[in-house]
Amino acid sequence: MKVLLATSKPFALPAVQGIQHIIESAGHQFVKLEKYEEESQLLDAVKDADALIIRSDIVNKEAMKAAPNLKIVVRAGAGYDNVDLEAATDCGICVMNTPGQNANAVAELVFGMMIYAQRNRFDGSVGHELIRKRLGLYAFGSVAKMVAKIARGFDMPVYAYSPILTHDDLRKEGEYGVIPADSSEELFRNSDFISLHMPLLDDTRRCVNYSLLSLTPQDGFLINTARKELVDEDDLIRIMEERPAFQYATDVKPDKHDEFLQKFPKRYFTTPKKLGAQTAEANKNAGLAAANQIVAFFRDGDECFRVNQ
Ligand code: 3PG
């Protein structure tokens, strides 16, 4: 089988070498397309591929139609909103992700961004500490769990709200010691920092809106290492205009980046490129997991991490 690694934002070399080793040791052919800039390059590369490993690369209906042999797409990472699941099902293609594999890298970045902003970007002025500040986690998947774990070291009370987990579910996760919130409203009301961890779905798009944001303290702090589409940008701009101490730090550059930057140069921060999962360790964890999943799929029909119907 021909396995294509297509990454416009490439993995670190040891991860690529590890993927290649796993694929070739199982008797498959390994090819790669890295740092591509045009969709046409992907359409061309995928045309005789049986399997595809991607990151945030867009795999739409057109890409699937261009790949008549394609049987499996593995998103080496958590969120798979970049893959058209319906089209995949129609084409008989199995789509998987590699849950949890890059969670620690993203969680560490949450703290990196909080500290950077609380210390005024290390400009020498008097900043603030994280200790005993209330942290709210919106959703409670793999990344949020790692954030909760690290937060204990900062002695931060951690609140969590998940639309799909009950209080009992959250309490059962005893090792993370989170305080379950009844609703997203309660979460936003009780938190000094809010960190977003939900996937992008139809019903999570722009779910962080004016009515939720207005419940936070005046000097609230929103951290987004998930997806830009979760936040209603106009509503966030309105809140930041109304509240001179409100801050936004994001690893997913908003569509209105220029406006945020121009209006709130000291209270808005974005990474230049999404880099939550951009560590050697996360690249290796997610990349090797993807390669192993493909090998198991072809060898045993293993569909353990399948996300489409
Ligand atoms: C994910 O969903 O796993 C993260 O957003 C990381 O995405 P990336 O592989 O494009 O960096």
Which DSSP string do the residues of 19-39 spell out, in sequence order?
HHHHHHHTT-EEEEEES--SH
pLDDT value at residue 167: 83
Q: Is the CB of 77 under 6 A from ligand 1?
A: yes
pLDDT reading at 118 higher than 90: yes
Cα(127) to centroid(ligand 1), Å: 31
Q: Is the shortest distance between the CB of 289 and ligand 1 below 6 Å? A: no
The per-residue pLDDT for 173 is 77
Instruction: State the pLDDT at residue 124.
Output: 97
Q: What percent of the chain has pLDDT over 90?
A: 95
Q: Please enumerate in sequence order all residues whose Cβ is within 8 A of that of 265, keeping only pairs 6 or more positions apart, or say none.
A: none
Q: Which amino acid is at 21?
A: H
Side chain identity at residue 175, one-letter code: E
CB of 55 within 6 A of ligand 1: the answer is yes
Which of 8, 54, 56, 196 for mutating ligand 1's site (highest number of atoms within 8 Å of CB)? 56
98 Cα nearest atom in ligand 1:
3
Distance 272 CA to ligand 1 centre (A): 15
Position 74 pLDDT exceeds 80? yes
Compute the distance from residue 218 Cα to the ligand 1 centre, in Å: 31
Average pLDDT over residues 259-287: 97
Ligand 1 probe mutation, 83, 102, 143, most atoms within 8 A of CB: 102
Look at 74-78, 80-84, 134-138, 160-164 and tell me which has the smallest mean pLDDT. Answer: 160-164
In sign, the C-alpha dihedral spanning 222, 225, 229, 230 is negative
| CA-proximal residue: ligand 1, atom 6 (nearest) | 277
What's the confidence (pLDDT) of residue 145?
96
Share of the chain above pLDDT 70, in %: 100
Query: Region 106-134: what's the mean pLDDT?
Result: 97
Atom of ligand 1 nearest to the CA of 102: 3
Pairwise CA distance, residues 20 & 16, whole Å:
6
Best residue for ligand 1 mutational test, from 108, 253, 274 (most atoms within 8 Å of Cβ): 274
User: 111 pLDDT exceeds 80?
Assistant: yes
Which pLDDT score, from 0 to 100, does residue 171 have? Answer: 80
Pick the CATH number of 2-101+278-300 from 3.40.50.720, 1.10.10.10, 3.40.50.300, 3.40.225.10: 3.40.50.720
What confidence score (pLDDT) does residue 285 get? 98
pLDDT at residue 166 in the model: 85
Do 2-101+278-300 and 103-270 share a fold? yes
User: Using CA atoms, how far apart are residues 74 and 93, in angstroms rounded to an integer?
Assistant: 10
Tell me which amino acid residue 298 is: F
**Residue 56 CB less than 6 A away from ligand 1:** yes
Q: In this predicted structure, what is the pLDDT of residue 240?
A: 98
Question: How far is the C-alpha of 250 from the C-alpha of 237, rounded, in Å?
Answer: 14
CA of 217 to the centre of ligand 1 (A): 30
What gap in Å lies between CA 229 and CA 61, rounded to an integer? 21
213-269 pLDDT, tens digit each: 999 999 999 999 999 999 999 999 999 999 999 999 999 999 999 999 999 999 999
- Region 128-137: mean pLDDT is 98
| Dihedrals phi, psi of 265, to nearest 5 degrees | -60, -30
State the pLDDT confidence band at 296, using cuts at 50, 70 and 90.
very high
Q: Using CA atoms of 13, 19, 25, 28 in order, give the dihedral in degrees to the nearest 10.
A: -120
* The CATH number of domain 103-270 is 3.40.50.150: no
Q: For position 172, what pLDDT does the model report?
A: 79
User: In the prediction, which pLDDT does 174 show?
Assistant: 74
Q: Where are the domains of the chain?
A: 2-101+278-300, 103-270
**pLDDT tens digits for 160-214?**
999 988 888 888 777 888 999 999 999 999 999 999 999 999 999 999 999 999 9
